Amino acid sequence: MLPLAQIDDSGRRMIPGTPVFDGDAAQAGYPLNAMCYSFNSQANRDAFVADEEGYMARFALTPAQLAAVRGRDVNAMIAAGGNVYYLAKLAGIFGLNVQDLGALQTGVGLDEFKAGLMSHAVTERHVAQLEQAQ
């Protein structure tokens, strides 16, 4: 069922195209993810929009994280330790949903990304017959 496991130099299992959000990523990504977590609040989202640089300065983002946010570069945010659950809150400020994020990360247009999902389209429904004698 599974292809042969791929192992990196430090002995960690690699899954192609699939960043695993482990302790290293969580540590590296902490400032960026902390900023994104703050966007649960509308007031903080407004503050970010009003002064992006000033808002980022409060969270001590790394140079790579600053560049990724300035460039709206989702792949660079992930590479810098961003976790998609938190990044989704930032993406919302930019008017992007998770399908937009998927298209941006895979380098295809939004329509092509949606078409890829639709290629799996199916509806399978089962309902058991209720027992009459109850």
Partner 1 sequence: MSEVIGGVFTSHVPAIGSAIARGLQQDPYWKPFFDGFDPVHEFLHREKPDVAVVFYNDHGLNFFLDKMPTFAIGAATEYRHEDEGWGISFPRPYPGHQALSWHIIEEVVKSDFDPVTCQAMTVDHAVAVPFELAWPGAEEFPVKLIPIAINTVQHPLPSARRCYNLGKAVGRALESWQGDEKIVVLGTGGLSHQLEGGRAGHINSDYDRFCLRNLARDPEALLQHDVLDIVELAGSQGVEILNWIAARGALHGSVRELASNYHVPISNTAAATVLLENRVTVSA
- In the complex, the residues that contact partner 1 under the rule CB under 8 A are 1-2, 13, 15-23, 26, 30, 33-34, 36-37, 39-42, 45, 78, 83-89, 92, 97-99, 101-102, 105-106, 113, 116-118, 120-128, 130
Judge contact between 26 and 20, C-beta under 8 A.
no
10 vs 120, beta carbon nearer partner 1: 120
For 68, the token pair is: 């990724």
**Residue 64 burial class via C-beta count within 10 angstroms: exposed 0-12, middle 13-18, buried 19 and up:** middle
23 vs 63, beta carbon nearer partner 1: 23
Min dist CB 119 to partner 1, Å, is 9
Min dist CB 124 to partner 1, Å, is 4
Min dist CB 110 to partner 1, Å, is 11
9 vs 124, beta carbon nearer partner 1: 124
Closest by CA to 93, choosing from 69, 113, 109, is 69
Any bridge partners for residue 18, and if so which?
15
41 vs 71, beta carbon nearer partner 1: 41
d(CA 14, CA 78): 16
